Amino acid sequence: MAIEDDVLVIGGGLAGATAALAAAEQDVQVRLITHKQSTLRHASGLIDVLGYTPEGDGPLVDPFDALADLPDGHPYERVGAEAVREALSFFDDVAGEAYAGAHTDANALVPTHGGTVKPTARYPASTAAGLASDDRDALLVGFETLPDFEAPLAGAHLEAAGVPFSARGVTLSFPGIVRDDAKVTRYAHLLDQNESVSTGAGETGAREALAAAVEAHLEDESRVGFPAILGDDHAAEVRADLADALGVDVFEVPMGPPSLPGLRLEDLLYEALEDAGVRVTSGVPVVEYETGADGDRIDHVVVDRTGSKLPHRADQYVLATGGLVGKGVRSERERVYEPLFDCHVPHAADRYDWFVDDVFGDQPYARFGLRVDRELRPLTADDEPEFSNLRAAGAVLSGYDFAAEKSGGGVSLATGYVAGTRAGEEGGE
């Protein structure tokens, strides 16, 4: 006996959630199993498709133009350009008004918290008014207790990057923040709840107090950028209130971990999973698996729930456990491996060949992962599918350097979408 589903997705990041949602479109019973916190909390919340070619050309205006020239084995080459478009369109439907960028094939250049710009294909609505190709002048607001975003420096950096507008930065004290080491979620909560805070003008709501603090510094800019802390559950409302009070557009600059736009994207995906009837089992690791009699198919996997071993059986499996960061790919001094099914991970035998000396050089370790066929089935060293009913999606794949290419989100969407769709089709047969 085992807990039975048609499709079992292992891994709860962008690729896993997309795979589960795509599979659920096929009218099959889908389960998503996650272990640790997903890496979305590390991610900026932007959905990059392709910002630079593997050779480093770019930033690319049109990522779709470049898809045809990608080398063999690149995840986009595996699934094909049309699947990339379908996956993006699928994401657009899931995200709805929370994301923008679907109106054009062109990449957007989004200001980073370091102050340069990066190419991306979809961006949270909270970032939409901040695009660098929008020529309106911007005021950037940083806070003295948030050292990750030094607004005057970011403004100067944007100008050094040649943006077609003036970017001025100011550093303020955040009304209602009393600790120097408050977490970003504390700022967001303060604004979400519009907590009452003390200012020179007496007690007011946090949003009003923040707007008043900014207004004193606003000159003729028609948009104001903040670090990405403007609310969590009520982010749109917080932004609208600030915009109304200031009479200008308000946007967020994506930040590093812990990233509120990443966490909001995670919330959005898990609401969609619930709506789609996907069963989500979180906080449990998959610890072992059994194959069927012929060894060709995975029969079931076993999860560890506080010491108890629970079998889960499905017809089709999707592995979306992430790369080195998400621990879907692990390493020891002598080897790099995929820990659940021990799928083949190509790598040099000598670990001093896993890197190059320039920190931003062409890093072999950044490409560690599974080779797959066009069905996204992981391949053995002899180019045979490891299992006939296992597909892989997202950062667990090899053949691309998402950080250099700016292609992480897009690859997770495209491969998650294809792996999930195929698994759903076969799982329903």
Partner 1 sequence: MTTHTDVLVLGGGSTGCGIARDLAMRGLEVTLVERGNLTEGTTGRMHGLLHSGGRYAVSDQASAIECIEENEILREIAGHCVEATGGLFVQRPEDSDAYFQEKLEGCRECNIPARVLSGREAREIEPYLADDVKRAIEVPDAAVDPFRLCVANAVDAETHGARIETHAEVVDLLRDGDDIYGVKVRHESGPGKRNHTVAGTIEEITADYVVNATGAWAGQIGDMADLEIAVRPSKGVMTIMNVRQVDTVINRCRPKGDADIIVPHETTAILGTTDEEVSDPDDYPEAQWEVDQMIDTLSELVPILSEARTIRSFWGVRPLYEPPGTGTTDPTDITRDFFLLDHAERDGVSGMSSIVGGKLTTYRAMAEEIADHVCDKLGVRASCATADEPLPGSETIETLEAGMDDFGLRSPVARRSKQRLGSRASEVLETDAANPVICQCEGVTRAEIQDAISQSGTDLNAVRIRTRASMGNCQGGFCCQNMANELHPEYDEETVRAALDELFQERWKGERHALWGEQLSQAMLNYALHATTMNRDRDPASESSDLEYDAFDSGQQTPQRRADGGN
- Beta carbon nearer to partner 1, 223 or 300: 223
81-95 and 260-275 are packed helices; what angle lies between their axes, rounded to 10 degrees?
90
Cα distance between residue 232 and residue 225, in whole Å: 17
Of 148, 110, 290, nearest to 227 by C-alpha is 148
Cα distance between residue 129 and residue 138, in whole Å: 10
Q: Report, in angstroms and rounded to the nearest whole number, the Rg of the chain calculated over CA atoms.
A: 23
Cα distance between residue 115 and residue 112, in whole Å: 5
Cα distance between residue 101 and residue 120, in whole Å: 9
- Beta carbon nearer to partner 1, 45 or 424: 45
Give the shortest CB-131-to-partner 1 separation in angstroms: 5
Give the shortest CB-74-to-partner 1 separation in angstroms: 17
Of 40, 4, 114, nearest to 320 by C-alpha is 40
Cβ pair 171, 149 in contact under 8 A: no
By DSSP bridging, strand 330-331 and strand 336-337 are: antiparallel
Cα distance between residue 236 and residue 268, in whole Å: 13
Give the shortest CB-208-to-partner 1 separation in angstroms: 16
Give the shortest CB-291-to-partner 1 separation in angstroms: 28
- Beta carbon nearer to partner 1, 317 or 368: 368
- Beta carbon nearer to partner 1, 276 or 355: 355
- Beta carbon nearer to partner 1, 108 or 418: 108
Q: Which two tokens stand for residue 243?
A: 């915009």
Which amino acid belongs to residue 113?
H
Cross-strand bridge partners of residue 310: 303
CB count, 10 Å around CB of 306?
A: 6
DSSP letters for 404-418: HHT-HHHHHHHHHHH
- Beta carbon nearer to partner 1, 279 or 327: 327
- Beta carbon nearer to partner 1, 356 or 384: 356
Give the shortest CB-388-to-partner 1 separation in angstroms: 30
Cβ pair 160, 245 in contact under 8 A: no
Name the helix (H) or strand (E) containing 167. strand 167-172
Cβ pair 47, 413 in contact under 8 A: yes
- Beta carbon nearer to partner 1, 190 or 273: 190
For 124, half-sphere exposure in the C-beta direction (CA atoms, 13 angstrom radius) is 28
Give the shortest CB-333-to-partner 1 separation in angstroms: 5
- Beta carbon nearer to partner 1, 117 or 278: 117
Cβ pair 423, 391 in contact under 8 A: yes
- Beta carbon nearer to partner 1, 174 or 387: 174
Give the shortest CB-233-to-partner 1 separation in angstroms: 21
CB count, 10 Å around CB of 37?
A: 16
Give the shortest CB-31-to-partner 1 separation in angstroms: 27
- Beta carbon nearer to partner 1, 82 or 220: 220
Give the shortest CB-258-to-partner 1 separation in angstroms: 11
Q: Where are the beta strands (DSSP E) in 200-314?
A: 202-205, 223-227, 249-253, 279-281, 286-291, 298-305, 308-313
Give the shortest CB-146-to-partner 1 separation in angstroms: 7
Give the shortest CB-387-to-partner 1 separation in angstroms: 26
